[in-house]
Amino acid sequence: MTEDSAPHSKSYNIDFQPVGRRIRIKESEDLLTAARNAGIQLISVCGGVGSCENCRIRHVSGTLSPPTKEEEKVFDIEELLEGYRLACQARPLSDVKIEIPLSSLTASQRLQIEGHEISIEPEPVVVPVEVELTPPTFDDLRADVTRIKQVLETLGVPSPMIGFSVLENLSDQLRAQGWNSRLALRGNEVVAVLHPEELLLGLAVDIGTTKLAAYLIDLSSGNTLAKTGDMNPQISYGEDVVSRIAYTNTNKDGRQVLQEKVVSRLNSMLDKLIYEAQVSREQIVDAVVVGNTAMHHLFVGLPVRQLGEAPYVPEVSDSLDVPPQSVGLALSDGAYVHLPPIIAGYVGADHVAMLLATEVVEQDKSVIALDIGTNTEISLITGSRVICCSCASGPAFEGAHIRDGMRAAPGAIERVQIQGQEVRVYTVMGQPAVGICGSGILDAISQMLNEGLIDHRGGLQEDHPLIQRKNDELIFLVVPASESGNDRDVIVTRKDVNEIQLAKGAIRAGIEVLLGEAKLNYEEVEEVIVAGAFGTYLDIRSAIRIGMFPDFPHAKYQQVGNAAGMGAKQMLISSERRRAAEEIARKVEYLELTTYPNFTDVFMKAMIF
Amino acid sequence: MTEDSAPHSKSYNIDFQPVGRRIRIKESEDLLTAARNAGIQLISVCGGVGSCENCRIRHVSGTLSPPTKEEEKVFDIEELLEGYRLACQARPLSDVKIEIPLSSLTASQRLQIEGHEISIEPEPVVVPVEVELTPPTFDDLRADVTRIKQVLETLGVPSPMIGFSVLENLSDQLRAQGWNSRLALRGNEVVAVLHPEELLLGLAVDIGTTKLAAYLIDLSSGNTLAKTGDMNPQISYGEDVVSRIAYTNTNKDGRQVLQEKVVSRLNSMLDKLIYEAQVSREQIVDAVVVGNTAMHHLFVGLPVRQLGEAPYVPEVSDSLDVPPQSVGLALSDGAYVHLPPIIAGYVGADHVAMLLATEVVEQDKSVIALDIGTNTEISLITGSRVICCSCASGPAFEGAHIRDGMRAAPGAIERVQIQGQEVRVYTVMGQPAVGICGSGILDAISQMLNEGLIDHRGGLQEDHPLIQRKNDELIFLVVPASESGNDRDVIVTRKDVNEIQLAKGAIRAGIEVLLGEAKLNYEEVEEVIVAGAFGTYLDIRSAIRIGMFPDFPHAKYQQVGNAAGMGAKQMLISSERRRAAEEIARKVEYLELTTYPNFTDVFMKAMIF
């Protein structure tokens, strides 16, 4: 769409504000690439072809290439005059100064790392064993490893072995520790040789498509010593799993790039946890990592092409225990990273972890448990059955594909109230509004419905005083430019309403199909468990009002936060919970919606308010 | 010993001949370093302190730093005038031209890769299994791995699993192969997914302190498809295991350097084998590597410090199966490298492999089996016992520490005959004599003894017409400069005789101690098996004549070549032989000579001719 550069192209300085980063790039490179190279996490769903409208920037000074047709579609004349551009479309023609709106950044968002904890008796997979070894003499020439094995045998460990990675420094370690050590034992395998006073620790990780959460746990007490959250840096290569799979299909080293990105971010998080808890890396002798199937495969370095092509099967669904070196995670050398089993190509180990943490499978109730995200996984637990499906609910609830949508960063509108002609908004951190996040748009639409701004088909009602016409389009002005944090109107368009209809329709259709499959009616549902970050912040009444959930007359709602992370923690400190997860994965019946009879009809109906 | 350079030192061109390599170095750097950086493998036992006299070079033109005290000890005035220097001592003061004598090079030597083969019924650890899988559909959403596991279960494989490294490309491979594959199965683990017509291959390796041997084997037939030998490049960092251990103790990354050196050379050899046999790397699904304990530890990347300190214990003596990635060997990703068990710090898996290949432990005979090298391992098999020891025989038999000693490279004298006053020599490849190798010096001393040039204590007999005086020293002139290939006399000195006395005394003492321990007399020994390269070329009569071996009246002698390599091949194609090796290692009683009562007396006596 732009002419390619001459072989000896010029290069220019790009000054990104307010983040304050500078980088020099060639005139043939676009500003999205420049921002990425400068370490700035701009949102880009479409992968840089100008169709997702997320990588908005404002041109402050200097000269840029002229706006492309894609940009002319996205921005009106007024916005173009104000300097708004798409980073992926604009190239520098001189040194330039660029302003990045908060809503275009993937970083510094509110991260959901808390979840409802259920206390579990610690019974970790890796346990400490104190040993006092006799040093070798000319009368006792046994190898160091033989010494350890024989002591373990006397302690009742059958066929003890020493992990290969532990051997790398074993002889020097034993001598430095004066032959008194605390061994970290995983079954019959020694995975670390520690000083006698060192605690055994574990790492629990939830790899979300958008967010990462990590917890450092004392394996003997089950206590969380430190926790941290961060963005999944893969987001710069595609906002949802489908676009990341596409990235690996079209880029030779794409899989490796995405793997390294997420592991390197996890290692930074780990550094932070280690520093905060004042422990040593060698103490981290176990890890549990959960994520959806694509995140799981990309983390481990497995092919994902087949996840993107019908019938969308995972390469492996069984649980895995992999050496940290093979994925690049900087734990104790001999540790293993446990990855719980997967249910299907679009129902991953994170859903298993959620079902585990909420203990719904073990209960004798009819429960719907769902984790809302770009993909929403829903399980219906009833009698002895667990039926599960995955809905392509899209990224609208994460603020994408919404005209003024953004993530739940400071200044994002998260609650909307309409009373008569007065509109009140609440923003994240109380900052002046710059956009609207998932729970905000859900709230807005529920209120619009209540107050008659839209009808049951989603059409904006021209005669309502709060509905205005802007550039020949009907809109609901939520916050006028004069009151916003970025001198732009925050509005809701017909297209926005449509996006939410598609998203809520997908979830509702999934619920309806599961209820139909189990022959259960609304009255029989006793509990609805809503997990995930968006699920924590959404207003349940609004969700029912717009029809995302049926109005179950007897259901108790629970918003459980990052239940996947909690499940990972449970599997870290308890081998019984690890076995329970295997049991859950085996028990779940996966139901493929795309080939389910009459699914389209159900979905069409579910889109109506 | 030389003044250190100024901070901004000059640099000069060094022209090495006849190899024809040029390199630019700083004037502060010595020529040994320069040669190494230029990829020239100069022999250096002492690690560059001027005491081993191996890195001799000749200065042809330009200016070098003046000879050091060390060099004045090594060379006489005549030699210094001819330009002889030690590369480790000399630094350039201008551009210089340097000649490297053949005898200073570790490369291009005769390599011993042949051994007596004993035919073994192939019963490999890794076997082929043909599978025809059904592709996934919306009605059959099983993961790829589940498909393979279930087919293997129907074929009777219990709890089948897929190696983690195999997962990296599995989905793409299965689809590319149209769901018809030949699996390489190791027990219950799939280690490779091949095309249905591809043969399963294995690699057998013998890592000697000096030489490397590698064999590419068809696992189903046991046939050797290709074989190759090369030098162990670690030799540039010390000629024997003790100096290599010292190198790792004094250099921070020393262990890693030595590991990478040997693995990178093995990978080059592997490339050659793959090219020669016209196969693919993915077909190499198993490997067996043998070597002495230090070579074993350095190959795997284990600590060796404790091998150099009393009581000299290995870190691990049990057999190991390690992923090729963890050592850097470029086999099929999912393969394992099998390292058979070790007997002691100075009796390694190569000795186990030798005992295995020669089948001596399984026989009902009294046998002495020994592998002569810098360390000589000796086993005495009698009744149900196998007693074993290690003798520090030193590198004299490899030509080191001998005035004109060299390895068995072209021009090395390997046989000497003295008849009256006539001396005849035979050289490797019939080239003009440039030095004398191990079997040559052994022969020479045996002949000197026969003809009365030396007495039973090793003293040179001044009155014998073949004994001359040179620079106040008695010598035996083997080849005069006029007939040599390098215009230098090839001589034997009193010191040379002394070195051989030490070496043969160590071996003889080991044999005597073992016989004493087993209460066996000379008459009862039925067989003597001599393994290793030097053992192949030595003249048994000469060895008996100088008293290296007792004159067993009823013993049959067998020179079996690289039996360690043959043992590795057997373990590669037969799981029964792998188990037999475990049995041998368990059975062997190791006897530590250094603390054996009266060892010193036995050794002193053994040094006499």
Output the DSSP codes for A113-133.
--B-------B-SEEEEEEEP
Name the pLDDT band for A55 (thresholds 50, 70, 90). confident
* Interchain contact, B171 vs A303, CB within 8 Å: yes
pLDDT at site A178? 95
Nearest alpha-carbon partner for A476 in A443, A439, A430, A508: A443
Q: What is the 3-state secondary structure (H, E, C) of A533-590?
A: HHHHHCCHHHHHHCCCCCCCCCCEEEEEECHHHHHHHHHHHEHHHHHHHHHHHHHEEE
Q: Which residues of chain B, if any, have pLDDT below 70?
A: 1-8, 18-20, 39, 41, 43-47, 51-54, 102-118
Residue in A closest to B249 by C-alpha = A172
Nearest alpha-carbon partner for B590 in B273, B269, B346: B346
Closest Cβ opposite residue B313 in set A141, A314, A594: A141
pLDDT at site A3? 42
Closest Cβ opposite residue B136 in set A141, A313, A594: A313
B129 min Cα distance to partner chain A (Å): 20
pLDDT at site A102? 61
Lowest mean pLDDT among A263-272, A384-393, B493-502, B556-565: B556-565
The single residue listed with the structure tokens 């057999």 is B319
B-chain residues within 8 Å CB-CB of A312? Answer: 141
A-chain residues within 8 Å CB-CB of B322? Answer: 164
Contact between A396 and A507 (Cβ < 8 Å): no
Q: Is the pLDDT reported for residue A114 higher than 70?
A: no
Residue in A closest to B140 by C-alpha = A311
Interface subset of A 420-459, CB within 8 angstroms of B: none
In chain B, CATH 3.10.20.30 covers 11-100
Asked if A162 reaches chain B (Cβ–Cβ under 8 Å), the answer is: yes
B473 min Cα distance to partner chain A (Å): 42
More confident residue, B36 or A209: A209
Average pLDDT over residues A6-22: 74
The 10 Å CB-count burial string (b at 16+, else e) for A20-44 is ebebebeebbbbbbbbbebebbbbb
Closest Cβ opposite residue B138 in set A149, A164, A311: A311
Lowest mean pLDDT among A371-380, A450-459, A528-537: A528-537
Closest Cβ opposite residue A315 in set B145, B303, B590: B145
Enter the tokens of residue A176. Answer: 């430095």
The single residue listed with the structure tokens 């899209």 is A394
pLDDT at site A44? 64
* Interchain contact, A164 vs B320, CB within 8 Å: yes
* Interchain contact, B315 vs A165, CB within 8 Å: no
The single residue listed with the structure tokens 């917890």 is A215
- At position A263, the amino acid (one-letter code) is V
In chain B, CATH 3.30.420.480 covers 201-339
Asked if A306 reaches chain B (Cβ–Cβ under 8 Å), the answer is: yes
The distance of Cα B223 from the centroid of its chain, to the nearest Å, equals 24
Lowest mean pLDDT among A484-488, A491-495, B599-603: A484-488
pLDDT at site B4? 45
Is residue A191 helix, strand or coil? strand
Q: Does domain A126-194 have CATH number 3.10.20.880?
A: yes
Q: Compute the distance between CA of residue B275 and CA of residue B292 in angstroms, rounded to an integer.
A: 29
* Interchain contact, B138 vs A322, CB within 8 Å: no
pLDDT at site B3? 42
pLDDT in tens, B185-236: 999 999 999 999 999 999 999 999 888 999 999 999 999 999 998 889 998 8
Side-chain half-sphere exposure of A38, counting CA atoms within 13 A: 23
Closest Cβ opposite residue A313 in set B142, B305, B323: B142
pLDDT at site A51? 66
pLDDT at site B1? 39
Q: Compute the distance between CA of residue B424 and CA of residue B411 in angstroms, rounded to an integer.
A: 14
In chain A, CATH 3.10.20.880 covers 126-194
Contact between A377 and A388 (Cβ < 8 Å): yes
**For residue B239, what are the contacts with CB-CB under 8 A and spacing of at least 6?**
B43, B44, B45, B52, B54, B209, B210, B374, B395, B398, B400
Q: Is the pLDDT reported for residue A325 higher than 70?
A: yes
B436 min Cα distance to partner chain A (Å): 38
Asked if B301 reaches chain A (Cβ–Cβ under 8 Å), the answer is: yes
Q: Is the pLDDT reported for residue A116 higher than 60?
A: no
More confident residue, B355 or A430: B355
* Interchain contact, B315 vs A145, CB within 8 Å: yes
B-chain residues within 8 Å CB-CB of A168? Answer: 301-303
pTM of full prediction above 0.95:
no
Contact between B315 and B302 (Cβ < 8 Å): yes
pLDDT at site A295? 97
Mention the CATH class of domain A201-339.
alpha beta
Name the pLDDT band for A430 (thresholds 50, 70, 90). confident
More confident residue, B15 or A515: A515
Asked if B138 reaches chain A (Cβ–Cβ under 8 Å), the answer is: yes
A-chain residues within 8 Å CB-CB of B317? Answer: 142-143, 145-146
Annotation: CATH topology of B11-100:
Ubiquitin-like (UB roll) (3.10.20)
Closest Cβ opposite residue B305 in set A145, A165, A171: A171
Lowest mean pLDDT among A2-16, A229-243, B60-74, B587-601: A2-16
Whether omega before B18 lies within 30 degrees of 0, making that bond cis, reads yes
Closest Cβ opposite residue A315 in set B171, B313, B314: B171
A-chain residues within 8 Å CB-CB of B162? Answer: 316
Side-chain half-sphere exposure of A214, counting CA atoms within 13 A: 24
N-terminal to C-terminal alpha carbon distance within chain B = 40
Asked if B252 reaches chain A (Cβ–Cβ under 8 Å), the answer is: no
